[in-house]
Structure 1
C-alpha cells in the first residue's frame, strides 16, 4: 500500500509542484489550501506525512500542527517556512514537527527527506 502525503500551502503553484513530484514517486497525495481543509483530510484519509507551510491565512501552521498531532500523534510533519521564522520553527519542533525546509527549497532534498521519513524499516536478520 502506498504512503499518503498531505501538502498544505496557500500557494497553488507550490501545491501543484509538490503533488506532481510526490505522485510521480508513487505516493498517494492530497492537498489543502487552508487549515480547515487540511484537518478534514487528516480525519478522513490519515496521511503518513504532512508537508505544512508555516504561514497560511486563517489558521497558521502552528495551529494546524497542534490539531494534526491531537488527531493522530503518529503523523509525521515537515514544516515549510519563509526565511527568518526561527522562533516559529523552534515552537513547531517542540510541537512535534520532525524537520523544516526554508523556501525556496531544493526539491531533491525535500524528496529525499520525505522518502527517508516514510521508508518502511524492515528487521535485519536471517
Structure 2
C-alpha cells in the first residue's frame, strides 16, 4: 500500500509538530515547512498528495504558495488554515483551487477527518 504524503506549511512550530504527529499516526508520510521556499522545494522533490497551508506566512503568503503549488502540480490537494476571517482571501484561495479552509484554532478531529476524506477518496 502506498503511503499518502502530507505537507504541513505553517510558520508556527507548535502547529507543525501537532499536525505532523496527528497525520503520522494516521499512517501518512509527513513533511513540514516553515516558509514558502522550503514548501515549494518539498512539493518539487516529494510531490505530496495534500498540503495543509497556512494563509499568513512571512515572506511568501499562502495565496502565493498556493498559486505555485497548483502551477507545479494541479493534482495536489490543498487545505488552507487561517487565523482570522479573511473572507476575501479565503474566496481567492478557493478560486485558486484550495478545497476548504480551517480557522485557527481548529478542531483537530475535523481536520483529521477532512484530510482522511480527501486522501481516501483519491485512492479508490
Common fold by TM > 0.5: yes
Query: Following the alignment from structure 1 to structure 2, what is the Cα–Cα distance between the partners of residues 121 and 91?
Result: 28
Query: Following the alignment from structure 1 to structure 2, what is the Cα–Cα distance between the partners of residues 7 and 121?
Result: 20
2:91 is the alignment partner of 1:90: yes
Query: Following the alignment from structure 1 to structure 2, what is the Cα–Cα distance between the partners of residues 103 and 51?
Result: 12
Larger radius of gyration: 1
User: Residue in 2 aligned with 1:32?
Assistant: 33
* TM-score, normalised with respect to structure 2: 0.97
Query: Following the alignment from structure 1 to structure 2, what is the Cα–Cα distance between the partners of residues 56 and 7?
Result: 12
Query: What are the Cα deviations for residues 38-95 of structure 1, in whole angstroms up to 9, with x where unaligned?
Result: 0000000000000000000000000000000000000000000012211100000000
Aligned partner of residue 97 in structure 1, secondary structure: coil
User: Residue in 1 aligned with 2:5?
Assistant: 4
TM-superposed CA distance for 1:121, in Å, is: 4.8
2:106 is the alignment partner of 1:114: no
Q: Which runs of 5+ in 2 are unaligned?
A: none
Q: Which runs of 5+ in 1 are unaligned?
A: none
How many residues matched? 122
Query: What are the Cα deviations for residues 1-45 of structure 1, in whole angstroms up to 9, with x where unaligned?
Result: 110000000000000000000001100000000000000000000
Runs of 4+ in 1 over 4 A off after TM superposition: none
CA RMSD of aligned residues (A): 0.7
* TM-score, normalised with respect to structure 1: 0.95
Q: How does 1:1-126 map to 2 (within 5 A)?
A: 1-119=2-120, 120-122=122-124
Aligned partner of residue 81 in structure 2, secondary structure: strand
